[in-house]
Amino acid sequence: MLNKTRLLTPGPTPLPEEVRLAMARDMLHHRKPAFLPVMEDVRAGLKYLFQTSQEVIPLACSGTGAMAAAVTNLFTPGEKLLCVEGGKFGERWGEICEMHGQIPVRLPVEWGRAVDPADVARALDADPSIRGVLVQASETSTGVLHPIGELGRVTAGREALLVADGISAVGISPCPMDAWGVDCLLTGSQKGLMLPPGLAFIACSEKGWAKCAQVRPSNFYFQLQGEHAKIKANQTMFTSPVGLLIGLRESLRLFREFGLERLHAKQWALTMMARAGASAMGLELLAPENFTWGLTSIRMPLGVSASEVAKRASADHGVVLATGQGHMKDRVVRLGHMGHVDFGDVLAGLAALRQAFTGAGGYIGCPDALEQAMDAYGEALRQGPPAN
Ligand SMILES: *Cc1c(COP(=O)(O)O)cnc(C)c1O
């Protein structure tokens, strides 16, 4: 009870009071009239969030479920798919393909770096039988933004579909599905969307739906064409996750009220704040450029364990941080700043990081790192984020 718990991880994230209260209301029946306006609002709000004229389909599963739904509904077993692998979630694309019979063609990218669109174009030209490019809009394991808009221009004139996992991008940094030519965009509920885990969302372009129509889905639960038909009647194929959808309606209302542009500007400022703070402490950032706007990956110097830092931040200050993933597990601390978080949360996160880092044996020479972080926040708000 000494400390307030602050969930500064790349999901789950803290929830606004409005969303929590909305989810506390009485249950509705998903096949009765009272539910229809909920779905009506959700559909409009999701189109705004995805920046698309297409329907966005909610699925009752975590984000990975939508990744699997994309692979099993857009591609037949035996088709080759280019998987951009610059982190743990990029690797997951390849694993999903292998399990369902698609053939992953892996494009390795150094962890902490973004893929070069020219490499993707070269790979597609080298093997015209590749039917899709599977990539993360934001690779959460490293904190890198891949250039989705540029990849959209690469796939636009080709047969391959562009499938983007936007789980830590949608509602955090710009990812306008239609303008960027994304054929399939998906996300989950527990990162930028200010909701509990348990929902995923997926939308397809005209080109994506045309491909989908040629594929017999290999999984009974995830049938995107069936869901597409249903959602136009404000329904889902199976029992709707009613409570979460009611919370979603509220979070989408907040997104529209605040506005995506202002939201992105806030996320950018928080990112600049976190990066300035960590850099002032003498810590190295894993992603030097093309960094995600919802988390900051900070390298620990030799001799300081990331798990030890995270343990101390939580025990002493109530700040829950994530460590690295894969081979970087104990080498990287990931400070999440996505969802319902603000200036005060990031300041608390940086303060806890500084204390925990010193406690874990690290040395920080700079006494005014937090002031520098605050200055960077103000400056970034004044300047605004870079153009897409
Ligand atoms: C969190 C995350 C996932 C996994 O989502 P789950 O909800 O845990 O299934 C996949 N991709 C990215 C980019 C993520 O950030």
Length of the chain: 388
Average pLDDT over residues 56-77: 98
Token pair 């990956």: residue: 297
Average pLDDT for the chain: 97
Structure-token pair, residue 280: 């002032």
pLDDT recorded at residue 198: 98
pLDDT recorded at residue 335: 98
Q: Give 314-348 pLDDT, tens digit per residue.
A: 999 999 999 999 999 999 999 999 999 999 999 99
pLDDT recorded at residue 387: 87
CA distance 109 to 193: 28
Domain ranges within the chain, ordered by starting residue: 17-257, 259-383
Is the pLDDT assigned to residue 303 strictly greater than 70? yes
Q: Give 225-244 pLDDT, tens digit per residue.
A: 999 999 999 999 999 999 99
- Looking from the CA of residue 169, the nearest atom of ligand 1 is 13
85 touches ligand 1 (CB under 6 Å): no
CA distance 152 to 163: 10
What DSSP element (H or E) covers 85?
strand 80-85
Is the pLDDT assigned to residue 2 strictly greater than 90? no
Of 3.30.1490.20, 3.10.20.30, 3.40.640.10, 3.40.50.2300, which CATH number belongs to 17-257?
3.40.640.10
Residue nearest to atom 6 of ligand 1 (CA): 63
86 touches ligand 1 (CB under 6 Å): no
Q: Give 361-379 pLDDT, tens digit per residue.
A: 999 999 999 999 999 999 9
Average pLDDT over residues 300-318: 97
CA distance 132 to 224: 17
Preceding amide of 12 cis, omega within 30: yes
CATH of domain 259-383: 3.90.1150.10
CA distance 344 to 270: 10
CA of 89 to the centre of ligand 1 (A): 7
pLDDT recorded at residue 307: 98
Q: Give 178-204 pLDDT, tens digit per residue.
A: 999 999 999 999 999 999 999 999 999
What DSSP element (H or E) covers 239?
none
pLDDT recorded at residue 7: 97
147 touches ligand 1 (CB under 6 Å): no
CA distance 343 to 93: 34
Is the pLDDT assigned to residue 76 strictly greater than 70? yes
Q: Is 202 within 8 Å of 59 (Cβ atoms)?
A: yes
Mutation probe of ligand 1 site: the residue of 140, 142, 184 with most atoms within 8 A of C-beta? 140
pLDDT recorded at residue 1: 64
314 touches ligand 1 (CB under 6 Å): no
pTM: 0.98
Is the pLDDT assigned to residue 13 strictly greater than 90? yes
DSSP for residue 283: P
Residue % of the chain over a pLDDT of 70: 100
Average pLDDT over residues 101-120: 98
